[in-house]
Amino acid sequence: SEYSQEPPRHPSLVINAKEPFNAEPPRSALVSSYVTPVDLFYKRNHGPIPLVDDLDSYYVTIDGLIEGPKKISMRDLWALPKYSVTATLQCAGNRRTAMSKVRKVRGVGWDISALGNAVWGGAKLADVLELVGVPKLTSVTRSGGKHVEFVSVDRCKEENGGPYKASIPLSQATNPDADVLLAYEMNGETLNRDHGYPLRGVVPGVIGARSVKWLDSINIISEECQGFFMQKDYKMFPPTVNWDNIDWSTRKPQMDFPVQCAICSLEDVNAIQPGKVKVSGYATSGGGRGIERVDISINGGKNWVEASRYQKDGIPYDSNDICSDKWAWVLFEATVDIPHDTEIVAKAVDTAANVQPENVETIWNLRGILNTSWHRVQVRVGH
């Protein structure tokens, strides 16, 4: 079958769909390290994993509304300055299963682990675009190019057997500070097949869907990419929109991720002993915004205590510190006293003072994306 060449995977991944392969690590694995190990990093696919086996004949075609189209080889990319960017990638469908409990939504079910934090190594897209005559900080090319479209070598049914694709604004692509990468390494190793070997886009601060794996070509275009995943998916609709009245053209493709957090040290319903419990998890926001605060409640949201935050072990996190990783998640930890059955809640505030919605009902949408509601876990004590 078309799925006969899938790579081996870690046995502790929770498989949400087999073909295409969609899987996430157990909650507890996420908070075991600041940088998520590659084999435990969530895997989100829309088709079989393509096999690119000859790097010497591999190249990315850069074409479209530019002066000189060019084929870029891995050698060309390796010759450019290499950057390492620690960035959290999160699927827009993270926490979809919980949204589905309010009212059914369409899409692969995910618990809270459809995200991970990795050190991506590669060339900056801004440097690559210079090779085809597009200078830094360009928002429109002389021939009217305003968007950068990434096209994959994979095949998916949503595109009627065509490749997965997505685009970002040219202004972001040519801004060195946006840290958009053409990545060939993940956590210091050659990118593996599941995550886009030999080359993928990494667009920090933006929903995972725009970080296209297995790049085949890059096109400079005048309008945003017209592909399925830009125009007929990954858009945020109000709760009133259903499959009978949906008009996809009324909404923009989702880009930045809103502020999010989740408790990873406890399962949905946990039996624990009375006394002190460590509550830990992740918090992350989009657009390079840091995490200002994480609040924990042990009585369903009546009272709150502030959790401690960190990125690197032992060093308290400071969103103003230039040594903090601006595109990466912040892990949090609080020790609380749990005398009886209760609901533990976590919510984060980002550096723009954006907060998470209290209830999932108010942000319900038919595709089940961006469930960033307060994260709640039930604990049963002492029986």
SS3 284: strand
What is the distance between the alpha carbons of residues 363 and 240, in angstroms, rounded to a whole number?
10
Spell out, one character per residue from 84 to 103, where the chain touches Mo ion: x when CB under 5 A holds, - when not: -------x------------
- By CB under 6 A, name the one of 16, 174, 187, 211 that touches ligand MTE: 211
Q: Minimum distance between the CB of residue 209 and Mo ion, rounded to whole angstroms?
A: 4
- By CB under 6 A, name the one of 43, 96, 289, 375 that touches ligand MTE: 43
Task: Kindly tell me which of 42 and 184 has the beta carbon lying closer to ligand MTE.
Answer: 42
Q: Minimum distance between the CB of residue 190 and ligand MTE, rounded to whole angstroms?
A: 14
45 binds, among ligand MTE, Mo ion, none (CB under 5 to 8 A by kind): ligand MTE
- By CB under 6 A, name the one of 88, 152, 172, 174 that touches ligand MTE: 152
Strand-strand pairing, 375-381 and 269-272: parallel
Q: Minimum distance between the CB of residue 208 and ligand MTE, rounded to whole angstroms?
A: 3
User: Which tokens hold the place of 93?
Assistant: 């469908």
End-to-end Cα, the chain, rounded Å:
49
Give Dmax (Cα) for the chain: 71
- By CB under 6 A, name the one of 214, 228, 317, 332 that touches ligand MTE: 214
- By CB under 5 A, name the one of 209, 277, 331, 348 that touches Mo ion: 209
Contact 1, 12 (CB under 8 A): no
Task: Kindly tell me which of 62 and 156 has the beta carbon lying closer to ligand MTE.
Answer: 156
C-beta nearest to ligand MTE: residue: 208
Burial of 44 (0-12, 13-18, 19+ CB in 10 A): buried
Q: Minimum distance between the CB of residue 73 and ligand MTE, rounded to whole angstroms?
A: 20
- The stretch near ligand MTE (CB under 6 A) out of 37-45, 100-108, 167-175, 327-335 is 37-45
What is the distance between the alpha carbons of residues 30 and 277, in angstroms, rounded to a whole number?
18
**Using rule CB under 6 A, residue 58 touches ligand MTE:** no
- By CB under 6 A, name the one of 111, 154, 179, 325 that touches ligand MTE: 154
**Using rule CB under 6 A, residue 30 touches ligand MTE:** no
For the chain, give the number of residues.
Answer: 383
Enumerate residues 6+ apart whose C-beta is below 8 A from 98. 360, 371, 373
- By CB under 6 A, name the one of 209, 259, 298, 345 that touches ligand MTE: 209
Closest CA to 246 of 257, 232, 259: 232
Q: Minimum distance between the CB of residue 90 and Mo ion, rounded to whole angstroms?
A: 8
Strand partners, 169: 147
Residues 362 to 381 in contact with Mo ion, rule: CB under 5 A: none
Q: Minimum distance between the CB of residue 308 and ligand MTE, rounded to whole angstroms?
A: 28
Residue type, 380: R
**Using rule CB under 5 A, residue 166 touches Mo ion:** no
212 binds, among ligand MTE, Mo ion, none (CB under 5 to 8 A by kind): ligand MTE
Half-sphere CA count of 324, side-chain side, radius 13 A = 22
Spell out, one character per residue from 87 to 106, where the chain touches ligand MTE: x when CB under 6 A holds, - when not: --x-x---------------
Q: Minimum distance between the CB of residue 109 and Mo ion, rounded to whole angstroms?
A: 13
Question: Side by side, which strands form the sheet with 215-221?
Answer: 70-73, 59-64, 215-221, 147-152, 165-169
- Written as one string, the DSSP assignment of 168-236 is EEHHHHT-GGG--EEEEEETTEEPPGGGTTT-EEE-TTB-GGGS-SSEEEEEEESS---SHHHHSSSB-
Half-sphere CA count of 99, side-chain side, radius 13 A = 27
Task: Kindly tell me which of 44 and 96 has the beta carbon lying closer to ligand MTE.
Answer: 44
Instruction: List % helix, strand, coil for the chain (3-state, nearest 5).
Output: 15, 35, 50
374 binds, among ligand MTE, Mo ion, none (CB under 5 to 8 A by kind): none
**Using rule CB under 6 A, residue 367 touches ligand MTE:** no
The residues binding ligand MTE (CB under 6 A) are: 41-46, 89, 91, 152, 154, 164, 195, 208-209, 211-214
The residues binding Mo ion (CB under 5 A) are: 44, 91, 208-209
